[in-house]
């Protein structure tokens, strides 16, 4: 897979995750946040394992261990984000969770000993500033902000972990194992913190189906596959545009008004993505020039 195609996959994921914010909001009308956590990971892991059911006997223990590591990081990130949502505002949670985009290049340096280039640093900073402006109209400090920041750290770690563990591995297997690991780790949270739903609406059920099939199973399948060809730093910038798409879908579906912060923040986020794509294009051109 080319790096350009990998970035395209990440773009699809960002759009789906953006709409996923609306789906989660509707699902929360009937289910608790930890119910949704278990539903999304248990349902998506079943789909992921059905995809590789014919190859189960061929799965190596080393691949399973890598998937478990990824799944643990993924669960911690989502658990912190989900619980933080009960203690802070949606805007704060969205901004702080997405702030991991700045951390990824430096985590990559610690793991791969490869310094982030100027464009990677600039694009990640521009993206963070754009997200900050995008959510600035409702920003206020809450206790849950610390949990949201912890979520950002583990999302960044998960991105780097995927890049490290997916080399020469079947991305389908890695994805299936990480989703199952997250599902298993979600069970105690559901048992201790969830509440029994009293009124389950059809909209909440449809929203859960979207979260399971598209926002989790499909998205992590595409992300895992994409990170076999593209760096965690570039993927993180594109994936973080979910905040932009979330606002766009809120305007379209929930009739929220358009403000100047939406236009300015969205422009900076799009500029950061263009920088990532420009950087990738330069790398391809340099490789072609060397071959010639």
Q: What is the residue-level pLDDT of the chain in tens, covering all 292 positions?
A: 788 899 899 999 999 988 887 888 888 888 888 899 999 999 999 999 999 999 898 899 999 999 999 999 999 998 888 788 777 666 666 667 777 777 888 888 888 887 777 777 787 787 778 767 765 655 455 667 778 788 888 998 999 999 888 877 898 999 999 999 999 999 998 888 877 787 889 999 999 999 999 999 999 999 999 988 888 878 887 887 787 787 778 778 877 666 777 677 767 776 776 776 665 444 433 443 454 4
Kindly compute the dihedral angle of the four CA atoms of residues 256, 253, 48, 202, in this order, to the nearest 10 degrees. Answer: 120
pLDDT digits (tens, 9 = 90+) for 247-272: 778 778 877 666 777 677 767 776 77
Q: Is 211 exposed, middle or buried (0-12, 13-18, 19+ CB in 10 A)?
A: buried
pLDDT digits (tens, 9 = 90+) for 79-134: 888 788 777 666 666 667 777 777 888 888 888 887 777 777 787 787 778 767 76
CA distances to 60, 182, 221, 251 from 153, rounded to whole Å, are: 29, 17, 21, 29
- For residues 45 and 49, give the distance between their C-alpha atoms in angstroms, rounded to a whole number: 6
Q: What sign results for the dihedral spanned by CA atoms 24, 28, 31, 37?
A: positive
């Amino acid at each position: 897979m080319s790096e350009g195609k990998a970035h395209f996959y990440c773009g699809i994921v960002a759009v789906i995750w953006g709409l996923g914010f609306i789906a989660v909001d509707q699902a929360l009308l009937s289910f608790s946040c930890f119910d949704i956590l278990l539903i999304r990971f248990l349902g998506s892991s079943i789909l992921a394992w059905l995809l590789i059911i014919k190859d189960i006997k061929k799965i190596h223990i080393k691949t399973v261990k890598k998937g478990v590591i990824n799944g643990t990081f993924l669960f911690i990130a989502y658990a912190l984000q989900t619980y933080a949502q009960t203690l802070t505002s949606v805007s704060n949670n969205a901004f702080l969770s997405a702030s991991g985009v700045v951390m990824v290049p430096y985590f990559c340096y610690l793991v791969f000993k490869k310094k982030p280039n100027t464009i990677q640093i600039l694009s990640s900073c521009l993206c963070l500033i754009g997200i900050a402006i995008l959510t600035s109209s409702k920003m206020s400090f809450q206790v849950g902000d610390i949990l949201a920041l912890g979520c950002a750290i583990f999302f960044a770690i998960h991105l780097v972990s995927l890049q490290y563990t997916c080399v020469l591995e079947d991305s389908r297997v890695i994805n299936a194992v990480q989703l199952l690991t997250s599902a298993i780790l979600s069970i105690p949270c559901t048992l201790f913190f969830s509440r029994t739903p009293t009124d389950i609406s059809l909209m909440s059920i449809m929203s859960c189906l979207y979260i399971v099939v598209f926002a989790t199973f499909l998205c992590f399948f595409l992300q895992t596959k994409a990170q076999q060809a593209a760096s965690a730093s570039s993927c993180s910038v594109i994936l973080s545009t979910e905040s932009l798409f979330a606002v766009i879908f809120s305007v379209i579906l929930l009739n929220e008004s358009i403000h100047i912060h939406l236009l300015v923040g969205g422009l900076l986020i799009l500029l950061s993505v263009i920088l990532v794509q420009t950087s990738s294009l330069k790398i391809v051109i340099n490789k072609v020039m060397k071959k010639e």
